[in-house]
A and B are shown apart, each in its own frame.
Chain A
Amino acid sequence: MSGRLPSFGEASRAALSLTLLRMRRGRAVWFAAAVGGLVVLMTLAIRLGGGVAPRVLWDAVVAWPLRYVVGVLVPFLFCATALSEEVEARTITYLFSRPAPRSALLVGKYAAGTAIGGLVVCASVLCVFLVAFSAGGGDDPVPWGELGRALGGFALSTACYGAMFLFFGVLLVDAPYLLCLLYVGLVEIPLSLLPSVVRVVSMSFHLTNVLGKAPHEQNPVLATWNPDVPVVASACVLGVMALLFLAGALSMASGSEYRFGKA
């Protein structure tokens, strides 16, 4: 008689498969796909309109809609409310009454959110690239190497933003969007646009660096102010920040009573 004690891996896999099952039936995936689809459609419209060189179009779409909209919004949708939605719906009661370590539950949810989010973001990047270079690369050959770099960079940034939003959601379960929006509005976007070394605080700077599209290539005025960070270092920052925020979220979740602790 009685249940078994699952290993960390088994518990994480159980959380992953439950989250994926729910995502398949939920609306968040469709919404995220719609956001990515809109960016692709916009690229297609500009491409069909003509007059814009494939490389310029690709660079512009990567620099703004993909980096600040799809790249940030999609992990936000899948990770910010990973825990708070369970607390809000009170289904957390079932999860916390099971013999799975809370950290394993969160790892499973994060893995599901990052996997689906990464797929949506990378699919959008791929479609934008194919649309932008659908008629070849103009005067230059099609930069396939850049596509690989973009897919890797966006996958890494999705993992980083996902962990960050998960942490903010766990930290402020009652208002998971608040810290995320404050971070994006006050830190991420403004600091990535400021010149000088403060840029390194912004994850999108590191993403831009990984993509090989640091602004000094295009803006000679800011070139001297732009921090010269090696690409590998930026990739490591994204990876390490993902791990740090994930560890923070796991540690926060382990000791809390959440709403059980309210009369």
Chain B
Amino acid sequence: MTAPMIRAERLGKWYGPVIGVNDLSLTLGPGVHGLLGPNGSGKTTFLRLVAGQLRPSTGKVEVLGASPWNRPEVLARIGLCPEVDAFWEELTGVELVQALVRFSGFDEREARERAVRALELFELADVMNRPVGTYSRGMKQRTKLAQAFAHDPEVLILDEPLAGTDPLTRTAIVGAIRSRGEKGACVLVSSHVLHEVESMTENVLLLLKGQLVAEGNMYRIRELIDEHPHRVLVECERPRDLCRALVDAPWVLSLRFPAEHELEIETRAPDACYTEVPERALALGIKIRRLTSPDASLEAVFRYLVEVKHKRERVEAPAPSAPRPEARA
């Protein structure tokens, strides 16, 4: 069995009366792990605990077998891409990354070589001699990633790494993250967008209100999520005609008209819904202006998972020796 690279045991962190992370236990090995949760769910707090920037209030967290808090020997093996958009904007991209790599024990020449390589990996070679203050948001995001990757850490902690990036850049970033995971690093990636994490890994951890509500394989969690009725809002011309075309679809639970040009569909099969609604509208010559989900925020889905978890705990309570499922919620 592979030794755990990140281990949390009954980990808790409070900011005064506010709970950041509560009673969180997990073990992570090599590979990419997605940390999903709505805003305020405790993702950043957990990542800061793992990165050694916060001291646990209760329990413990270990990275590569030791606590990361104020431990340079552990921090040397960690790369952090923080969520905050903070930079020394007067420095150029290469100066910034080089300066940070020097703190990882590399001399000036090697630090520069590593900085250039990392910036090239994230397609910033053309702009690396420009001050960071002149960068777009996407470029800044990639600079943060470059400084996290540049010293080849064994553990990578990436807080919302795809924020502010365009689709092409996302492909490059996702590729770099997956590649690092395949090479044996433990990459912990946080996001509040499900499909972002799906593109990087099948291993996910779901956090809500500082607690781990589910962990395991993405597809199993997707199934759990899909048990929760989704609402899909279609903004189109002739919503009543579209309604007539959808009323017999097996995946439709209910249909209603919240506004004159809107049709709201309740379904337990959002994938089928997103595929078939445009097809049926096209067949009828109905122009769809917008197709959105009011449930796009993961919070509603996660609340549902918490309910599922509580229900299962009540049911499973009399059987303590039950085998651990592939994914648990």
Contacts and interface: CB of A to CB of B under 8 A. Distances in A.
Interface of A: 1-7, 10-11, 13-15, 17-18, 21-22, 25-26, 89-91, 93-102, 254-255, 257, 260-263
Contact of B70 (A21, A90, A255): A255
Interface in B43-76: 48, 51-55, 70, 72-76
Contacts of B184: 1
B288 to A, nearest CB: 41
Interface in B81-103: 82, 84, 86-88, 90-91, 95, 99-103
Contacts of B73: 5, 99
Interface in B171-192: 183-185
Contacts of A6: 72, 102-105
Interface of B: 15-16, 18, 20, 48, 51-55, 70, 72-78, 80, 82, 84, 86-88, 90-91, 95, 99-106, 108, 147, 151-154, 183-185
21 contacts: A1-B185, A3-B101, A3-B105, A15-B103, A17-B99, A17-B102, A21-B91, A21-B99, A22-B90, A89-B88, A91-B86, A93-B80, A94-B80, A96-B52, A97-B51, A97-B52, A97-B80, A97-B82, A257-B55, A262-B15, A263-B18
Contact of A5 (B51, B101, B105, B108): B105
A254 B55 CA distance: 12
Nearest to A254: B70
Contacts of A25: 90-91
Contact of A22 (B77, B78, B88, B104): B88
A4 B106 contact: yes
B76 A4 contact: yes
A4 B105 contact: yes
Given A1-B152, A98-B75, A93 B84 contact: yes
Contacts of A96: 52-53
Contact of A2 (B70, B84, B154): B154
Given A22-B91, A25-B90, A95 B103 contact: yes
Given A98-B104, A99-B72, 13 more contacts: A1-B152, A1-B185, A2-B151, A3-B76, A5-B76, A10-B105, A13-B102, A21-B99, A22-B90, A101-B72, A102-B70, A261-B54, A263-B18
A17 B16 CA distance: 37
A141 B196 CA distance: 79
Contacts of A257: 53-55
B229 to A, nearest CB: 32
Closest 3 CB pairs of A and B: A4-B105, A3-B104, A3-B151
Contacts of B99: 14, 17-18, 21
Contacts of B152: 1-3
Nearest to B14: A263
B255 to A, nearest CB: 42
A93 B82 CA distance: 7
A26 B52 CA distance: 30
Query: Which of A18, A102, A254 has the largest count of B CB atoms less than 10 A from its CB?
Result: A18
A13 B52 CA distance: 23
A20 B258 CA distance: 61
Contacts of B100: 94, 98
A10 B107 CA distance: 8
A21 B95 contact: yes
Nearest to B78: A97
Given A11-B103, A98-B104, A90 B86 contact: yes
Nearest to A24: B90
A25 B88 CA distance: 10
Given A1-B152, A25-B91, A97-B51, A90 B105 contact: no
